[in-house]
Every structure is written in C-alpha cells, then in structure tokens.
Amino acid sequence: MVTNMISVTFTQFRKDASALFTAVENGEIIKILRHGKPIAEILPYRDSANHLPSWKKRKIRHPIKGEELSSLILSEREQAS
C-alpha cells in the first residue's frame, strides 16, 4: 500500500471531512494546517496484530518431515501477502 500525504487547512478539513476520511481509508495521510502550521495528522488505522515486528511474530515450524525448509518459507510468504 502506497501512502501519500495531503495537506489541508482546518477550514477545508471541516468542509470536506467525509471525502478526506475516504482518502484516509484508501491509505492517504492527512496533515491539517491552521494558519500555515501543522496541528494534526490523520493516519489510516493499523491493526496492531497484523503489524507486529518480525521478532514478535509467530515462528515458522517445520511440521512436515521431508519437506524442504525453503519451500515452507515460500509458502508462508505467499500466505502473508
């Protein structure tokens, strides 16, 4: 997911809030400015269970005897995407 940042004034945000929240749902980041200075950012929600650092994720187990580890890793990668 590609994330872009959109800067809008506070007045524009109030006027176009619905459309801007739709943009956030599509991966955009909204920076809200008041008098030309940033006051807030609205980011897409991230489910923390799906965005764990790799060292906190479930370890790969080698459940099938005789299966090559590399093919097991490739299947795990395909399932994650």
> What's the pLDDT tens digit per position in 50-67?
666 666 666 666 566 666
Q: The tokens 């997911």 sit on which residue?
A: 1
- Inter-CA distances, 71 with 3, 21, 61, 63, Å: 32, 41, 12, 12
Q: Cα-Cα-Cα-Cα dihedral of 72, 73, 74, 79, to 10°?
A: 90
- Is the pLDDT score of 1 beyond 50? no
- Is the pLDDT score of 48 beyond 80? no
Query: For domain 5-42, which architecture applies?
Result: 3-Layer(aba) Sandwich (3.40)
- Cα–Cα distance, 19 to 33 (Å, whole number): 17
Quick one: what percent of the chain has pLDDT higher than 70?
Answer: 70
